Structure 1
Amino acid sequence: MTMRGLWFEEFEEGAHYKHALTRTITEMDNVMFTSLTMNLQPLHLDEEFSKNSIHGQRVLNSLFTVALIGAFHVPELTMGTTLGNLGYDSIKFPHPVFHGDTLRAETTIVKKRESKTRDDSGIVWFKHIGLNQRDEVVCEMTRVGLMAKKPKEGAKA
């Protein structure tokens, strides 16, 4: 059995999904991602510096949060049916993420429309919400994706 996401036609505006995947953030996640992306911000890497910050400890690199929250939906919504990420209308971080936090995500389909330039796809606006183990919203973003339409009868999927 092949797992696949939804075709453009299968998305319904207002549909809400609570994704089953969760992930506990480790120190290694933060240090590795921050180092790989050459972000020298001491709030992510320097424990002693961060003790004197408003958070009192290191904070997870926010771009890691975006990547993780933006991936939780893939198995059930976009696996193999997305044609590309068109952009983000907004990204917000209402609460910080720390080592040891466990994150999960929910997605709402905000709107969709046919592509004006392609007959094989449509555009879908996804609102992804990331929450920690205390149900605090740590990331809220609206993402725009180009989604494949269901192949015509006899066409290769």
Structure 2
Amino acid sequence: MPGKYYEDLEVGQRIKHTLGRTITEADNTLFCALTMNTQPLHLNEDFAATTPFGRRIVNGIFTMGLVVGLTVPELTEGTIIANLGYERVVHPKPVFHGDTIYVETEVLDKRPSKSRPECGIVRLKHIGRNQHGEIVVELERTVMFKRRPTEPTETGA
């Protein structure tokens, strides 16, 4: 699996994820439709033009989900059991249609699972930036990772 196991992660480690993703108007509109979010700031250009942003902004929950998704190939693909929680989500700058998002992850903390010895609990901080390097979202996420499988030992005469 391309994802990392619990043992592969160290507190203080930083991973600069290689994938970036440009957000389109269709992405934002579809996400709002799927989640039944009728906020005109995301959907109504006429309304949004009267706000301090001057145009529609991308739904922040979509941005958060995208940031987590961009980390999967290099971090969790096939090596996690579950996301246990999301905390301290902040959106310091808006995201607009046409912005490209890039992500960096920092390992904040880790410990073996008390209830599942084959797993470990890792707290991560994801920082999403736009194409200008401006931070558009930060969040902390607690994840249950698989521990690296142990090789069977040979027994015999």
Match of 1:138 among 124, 136, 139: 136
Q: Which blocks of at least 5 consecutive residues in structure 1 are unaligned? A: none
Task: Supply the distance in 1 between the matched residues of 2:100 and 2:146 (Cα, whole angstroms).
Answer: 32
- How far off is 1:77 after superposition? 1.1
Q: CA RMSD in A?
A: 1.1
Task: Supply the distance in 1 between the matched residues of 2:93 and 2:6 (Cα, whole angstroms).
Answer: 33
- How far off is 1:73 after superposition? 1.2
- How far off is 1:138 after superposition? 0.1
Please give the residue correspondences for 1:1-157 in structure 2 after superposition, counting only pairs within 5 Å.
3-154=1-152
- How far off is 1:71 after superposition? 1.2
| Percent of matched pairs sharing the same residue | 48
Letter in 1 for 2:7: E
Q: TM-score normalized by structure 1?
A: 0.95
Q: Secondary structure at the match of 2:7?
A: helix
Q: Secondary structure at the match of 1:39?
A: coil
Q: TM-score normalized by structure 2?
A: 0.95
Task: Supply the distance in 2 between the matched residues of 1:72 and 1:26 (Cα, whole angstroms).
Answer: 16
Large movers: runs of 4+ above 3 Å: none
Q: Secondary structure at the match of 1:71?
A: helix
